[in-house]
Amino acid sequence: MKAAPLIALCLTTLASQAHASSPDAWAAYDKTVLASCTKASGLKDAKPVGKAAQFDDRVGYTALLLQGQYPQKQMKGAQGTELCLYNKKSKTAYVTEWDSIRPTAEAQ
């Protein structure tokens, strides 16, 4: 009879894990990552390039590539690319410039 509360606890845990992986939960998470990364970005009109890369929970990060325009006057509206790493635990976005991912004009 003491096993019943334990079984109920296990079922509740499994149900909440299933809920956390639902399409709606993933959509909400993706929206949070995009908002955090866009806010952390220094680019004007930053937009995602493709979909976010979901790393294993042992890594604890989601990666998102953003493109937009550099806001600095001397950059004259040049396109820029940034890589955003979103920390799942702290819910913090870290951004770095990553223009080197795009081919240079000479390589084209």
| CB proximity list for 65: less than 8 A, separation 6 or greater | 48, 49, 50, 81, 82, 83, 84, 98, 101
pLDDT category, 104, cuts 50, 70, 90?
low
In a domain, 37, yes or no: yes
Q: What is the pLDDT of residues 4-17, one digit of tens each?
A: 444 444 334 334 34
pLDDT of amino acid 107: 53
- Mean predicted confidence (pLDDT) in 72-91: 94
Asked whether residue 5 is assigned to any structural domain, the reply reads no
CA gyration radius for the chain? 20
Domain count within the chain: 1
Question: Residue 85 belongs to what domain range?
Answer: 23-107
Number of C-beta neighbours around residue 80 at 10 A: 22
Query: Whole-model pTM above 0.85?
Result: no
Looking at the domain assignment, is residue 90 inside a domain? yes
| pLDDT single digits (tens) 38-78 | 999 989 999 999 999 999 999 999 999 999 999 989 989 89
Does residue 39 belong to any structural domain of this protein? yes
Residue 13 lies in a domain: no
In a domain? residue 102:
yes
Q: What is the pLDDT of residue 96?
A: 96
> Is residue 51 a part of any domain in this protein?
yes
